[in-house]
Amino acid sequence: MEFERRFASEEACRAYLVSLRWPEGIRCLRCHSPSVWATVRGLYHCTFCGHQTSVLAGTIFQDTKADLRLWFRAMWYVTNQKSGVSALGLQRTLGLGSYRTAWTWLHKLRAAMVRPGRERLTGTVEVDETYWGGPQPGKHGRGAAGKTLIVVAAQVDGSRVGRIRLCRVPNTSAPSLERAVQAAVEPGSVIRTDGLPSYSRLVDRGYVHEVVRKETAVGENLLPRVNRVVALLKRWLLGIHQGRVSKTHLDAYLDEFTFRFNRRTSRWRGKLFYRLVQQAVAVDARPVKRLRRQLVAA
Ligand SMILES: [Zn+2]
């Protein structure tokens, strides 16, 4: 009810987007001048260059024909369902006309779940790979045909899992695994892996490398945090999405899982909503462009 009151009008939604996009005041999108005035059509006219800026320009809401209130309800629903939502669930909840629209909206929201320039993990981080799709293969590339390889990085937080990063990689070669580690973890951190030789040059990349060897104690869970994340990820992909996650969209699902996992302990669900809206207006053009390509390809 508080949500419905707060975002009761298109103007209230727009004002909220403006406050998150320009916390220090509205700026012209073309020349960055702060000297703008609001037009009757909800745009901001630049007195310096004459450009009319929309708060929706360059965000996932650009070119939307739907009422922003509907978008806000979608974001509220998506952030309040702890384990995520399906396109069908979203369609039914919002009463959207088509499944296709619900599906497209979910993908746009997933694009907003990747924060531009998000910081890398630090401290001690467990790293391992897992496969997605097809029958379970042996580890490290044996029988990997047709399957997708994902590198999982899980921060050690006492006995718990801290934040995570997931990254799709083409194979288990040293260059691809090192690239994944470099994208996910700040140099200087401690990386804990199994004895796979591809990780052996992490020290040269500026990391402290700890090898937990499988042969030391048979049956012992040597990378417990990363294994827990892998189990949860697979259950999530199989559960909410019935395992129907195509390779084309796997990155988007990995982003959504990461977004939810890293905020799983937020007691105030409103914070998740706030983050999602904030990222929806801060999102750079790259993931949106990637998304457009995927939507065209689908
Ligand atoms: Zn301007």
The DSSP-derived string for 140-173 is TTTT-TT-EEEEEEEEEETTEEEEEEEEEES-SS
- 297 close to 248: Cβ distance less than 8 angstroms: yes
From the CA of 34, how far away is ligand 1's center (Å)?
8
Q: What is the pLDDT of residue 133?
A: 79
From the CA of 56, how far away is ligand 1's center (Å)?
16
Q: What is the pLDDT of residue 294?
A: 58
From the CA of 27, how far away is ligand 1's center (Å)?
8
Each residue's pLDDT tens digit in the chain (298 positions)? 888 999 999 999 999 999 999 999 999 999 999 999 999 888 999 999 999 999 999 888 988 888 999 999 999 999 888 778 888 999 999 999 899 999 999 988 988 887 666 789 999 999 999 998 765 445 554 445 678 899 999 999 999 999 999 999 999 999 999 999 999 999 999 999 998 999 999 999 999 999 987 655 555 678 999 999 999 999 988 877 666 777 778 888 898 899 889 888 777 777 888 888 988 888 654 455 555 565 555 4
SS3 of 227-295: the string is: HHHHHHHHHHHHHCCCCCCCHHHHHHHHHHHHHHHHCCCCCCHHHHHHHHHHHHHHCCHHHHHHHHHHH
From the CA of 282, how far away is ligand 1's center (Å)?
19
Q: What is the pLDDT of residue 247?
A: 74
From the CA of 5, how far away is ligand 1's center (Å)?
34
From the CA of 52, how far away is ligand 1's center (Å)?
8
Task: Output the six-digit token pair for 191.
Answer: 């990386």
Identify the helix (H) or strand (E) that includes residue 43. none
From the CA of 72, how far away is ligand 1's center (Å)?
29
How far is residue 296's CA from residue 46's CA, in Å, rounded to a whole number? Answer: 34
From the CA of 47, how far away is ligand 1's center (Å)?
7
Write down the residue that tokens 């727009």 correspond to. Answer: 14
Dmax (CA) of the chain: 71
Write down the residue that tokens 């531009």 correspond to. Answer: 116
- Other beta carbons within 10 Å of 162: 16
How far is residue 191's CA from residue 174's CA, in Å, rounded to a whole number? Answer: 14
From the CA of 16, how far away is ligand 1's center (Å)?
22
From the CA of 66, how far away is ligand 1's center (Å)?
27
From the CA of 21, how far away is ligand 1's center (Å)?
17
From the CA of 43, how far away is ligand 1's center (Å)?
12
Q: Which residues surround ligand 1, an ion (CB under 5 A)?
A: 28, 30-31, 33, 46, 48-49, 51
Three-state DSSP class for residue 137: coil
From the CA of 45, how far away is ligand 1's center (Å)?
8
From the CA of 22, how far away is ligand 1's center (Å)?
15
Q: What is the pLDDT of residue 237?
A: 87
From the CA of 57, how far away is ligand 1's center (Å)?
14
From the CA of 238, how far away is ligand 1's center (Å)?
48
Burial level of 119, CB count in 10 A (0-12/13-18/19+)?
exposed
Nearest residue to 256 (alpha-carbon basis) of 245, 267, 270: 245
From the CA of 181, how far away is ligand 1's center (Å)?
41
Nearest residue to 190 (alpha-carbon basis) of 129, 120, 122, 118: 122
Phi and psi angles of residue 152, each rounded to the nearest 5 degrees, phi first? -115, 125
From the CA of 26, how far away is ligand 1's center (Å)?
11
Write down the residue that tokens 């467990």 correspond to. Answer: 126
Q: Which residues lie closer than 8 Å to 21 by C-beta, 6 or more apart?
A: 55, 59, 281, 282
How far is residue 238's CA from residue 24's CA, in Å, rounded to a whole number? Answer: 43
- 30 close to 45: Cβ distance less than 8 angstroms: no
From the CA of 55, how far away is ligand 1's center (Å)?
14
From the CA of 91, how far away is ligand 1's center (Å)?
39
From the CA of 31, how far away is ligand 1's center (Å)?
4
Q: What is the pLDDT of residue 296?
A: 56
Q: What is the pLDDT of residue 283?
A: 63
How far is residue 73's CA from residue 58's CA, in Å, rounded to a whole number? Answer: 21
Identify the helix (H) or strand (E) that includes residue 106. helix 99-111
How far is residue 188's CA from residue 91's CA, in Å, rounded to a whole number? Answer: 46
Q: What is the pLDDT of residue 298?
A: 46
